[in-house]
Structure 1
Amino acid sequence: MKKIFLLSLLSISFFVSSQTLYIKTYGNKNDKPIIFVHGGPSGNATLFEGSNTAEQLSKKGFFVIAYDRRGEGRSTDPNATFTYAEAFEDLNSIYKTYHLKKATLLSHSFGGLVATLYAEKYPQNINALILAGALFSQQETYNHILDSVKKIYTKKNDLAKLDKVALVENLNKNSAEYRKGCFELAGENNFFKMPHPTEESKKLYADYDASDFFKTNNRNKNAPLLFYQNEKKNNIDTRSSIKKIKAEGIPIYAIYGKQDGVFSTEQINSIRNLAGKNHFALLENCSHYLFVDQQKEFLSNVKNWIK
């Protein structure tokens, strides 16, 4: 009998500790579940959805769950604390709502820290952990960004920008201001953009910009400030956690863009060694938003690993 593909574009809100959490599912609920854990703090899943990545992934035989963490994006909550513990509550609520015994966590950027720490705490809930352009050694990332932009500005003899780098370097490394300064410098130097946009990637970004998802691309500017205020683990290295997860027998997969400017070659080699050769992919002509920059390759890798 030919399998009938059921596409569910069900968007719902449910209550977590008396607060509303945005969530949208794609695909057949009987297929293997994948939960997308977005970046941040102050991020959301709109690009993952609006670039059609969530739907395309569901068509490869997965039940895909996209959501915005409490207080971020479309999950508005003035009382959100933006701690890892709160993020774990959100994930546990998703498991309970959809009656999931286990799921694969597909984590992007800051979401990699959330997903890794969750998988370490609740290994019984995890089928696999996928790190997609995910942070895992925050200070090394910040150091790489600052060293890289310093070289760029030195070559240009841009003294004003070198002064800005020096100002950021002297900030408290466990502060929201330091994080913001590092990523602002990275953004100013196009560290998050693919070097040679393809026709496909340009269309995906254009379609997103014209979509309702872009219109709901809400960014809570207070989220990073509150995270650094309330969360003690605000500048961490999760490689020891990844090793513990692997020791539990949980597969770790890692996929990164070769031109993602926020990771050094040493960092990429480090995560490749942790994941293992057959569990790692480095995508050419690809930066931080790899599920848009090289969507086909991204989806192919995820499917081959999880199926």
Structure 2
Amino acid sequence: MKSLFLTFILSISFFSNGQSLYIKTYGNEKNKAVIFIHGGPSGNATLFEGTTAQNLADLGFYVIAYDRRGEGRSTDPDAKFTFEEAFQDINSIYATYHLKKAIILGHSFGGLVATLYTNKYPQNVTALVLAGALFSQQETYDHILNTLKKKYHNDSEQLKKIDIVENLNKNSAEYRKGCYELAGENGFFKMPNPTAESKKLYADYEAGEFFKTNIRNKNAPLVFYQNEKQNNIDSRPFLKKIKAAGVPIYGIYGKDDGIFSSAQINSLKAITEKNNFAFLDNCSHYLFVDQQTAFLSKLKYWLK
């Protein structure tokens, strides 16, 4: 993994204020470009890079991974963490690599960034791929809390914890954090039966160079909720507009990703249509690691 990390030259895109954006490319620049947008706020692309980016490039894609401004390795104390700022970052990637069009691959919160960007700049996007991506935030929060209330219906202490979160301001970083912390504590993000492949991928990542740069900005969600007017987004109306504009939409999700209800998944499947949607067995939120072979196979089938 270390030699792989050193093989590729870090590319830097400069903002007008002198801050830099971490960007790294994999594969042949003549191939179809795929821009990976990581989760967050406070995330980074290290897990995708350390496990999947090169393997996707080996299938014939030009893979571009980056960390959003103020997150991960793109240090910027003046970052605003707004969607518009994220769009500027993406457009700087297009300019830096002279891209006319690219496939946008959004994971988790990155799926919201990817959807809103595609809605604003459909002419820049060859296809939109939602991978375990958020698309109806309040329904996700409700699903997490309702699932736990059923699970702990006889446990007064757990119900008290859930009630505290449920009564927070639903447009606050604290509410979002509380929901996801409860989900994490209860295994919502873990695949039920790790495979030999997934165990090796996670182990290699944790032993490698990318894990050492797994930088998290704990203030990012707080600043995001202070500065961004759009929160608790339901992006399905945008997805319908994107589809009507002629941009193909693909969805790939894990059947064991506990943050999505079956009703949510079915509503998204209705938008993408059956042939453009994959629901992976024994797979949770980090599907490009949990079931990497199936994940890459689907992307190759759809996008090549």
- TM-score band w.r.t. shorter chain: over 0.9
Question: 1:246, CA displacement in angstroms?
Answer: 0.5
Q: Is the 8 A contact 1:227 1:234 kept in 2?
A: no
* Residue type of the alignment partner of 2:221: P
Partner of 1:41: 41
Partner of 2:223: 226
* Residue type of the alignment partner of 1:132: A
Instruction: List 4+ stretches of structure 1 deviating above 3 A.
Output: none
Question: 1:159, CA displacement in angstroms?
Answer: 1.4
Q: Is 2:186 the partner of 1:189? A: yes
Q: Is 2:111 the partner of 1:118? A: no
Counterparts of 1:39 and 1:26, CA distance in 2: 20
Partner of 2:171: 174
Residues 93-126 of structure 1: CA deviation (Å, up to 9, x unaligned): 0000000000000000000000000000001100
Partner of 2:4: none
Aligned Cα RMSD in Å? 0.8
Q: Is 2:57 the partner of 1:58? A: yes
Q: Is the 8 A contact 1:257 1:288 kept in 2?
A: yes
Counterparts of 2:13 and 2:95, CA distance in 1: 11
Counterparts of 1:225 and 1:63, CA distance in 2: 34
Q: Which residues in structure 2 correspond to 1:148-297 (within 5 Å)?
A: 148-154=147-153, 157-297=154-294
For structure 2, the 5+ residue unaligned runs are 1-6
Matched-pair identity in %? 71
Q: Is the 8 A contact 1:47 1:208 kept in 2?
A: yes
Greater alpha carbon shift after TM alignment, 145-154 vs 259-268: 145-154
Residues 136-183 of structure 1: CA deviation (Å, up to 9, x unaligned): 0000000000001111122xx321111010001100000000000000
Q: Is the 8 A contact 2:119 2:242 kept in 1?
A: yes
Counterparts of 2:148 and 2:211, CA distance in 1: 29
Partner of 2:107: 108
Question: 1:14, CA displacement in angstroms?
Answer: 2.1
Question: 1:13, CA displacement in angstroms?
Answer: 2.1
Question: 1:59, CA displacement in angstroms?
Answer: 0.4
TM-score for the superposition, normalised by structure 1 = 0.96
Residues 56-87 of structure 1: CA deviation (Å, up to 9, x unaligned): 00000000000000000000100000000000
Partner of 1:5: none
* Residue type of the alignment partner of 2:109: F
Q: Is the 8 A contact 2:13 2:93 kept in 1?
A: no
TM-score for the superposition, normalised by structure 2 = 0.97
Q: Secondary structure at the match of 2:152?
A: helix
For structure 1, the 5+ residue unaligned runs are 1-7
Counterparts of 2:272 and 2:282, CA distance in 1: 22
Number of aligned residues:
297
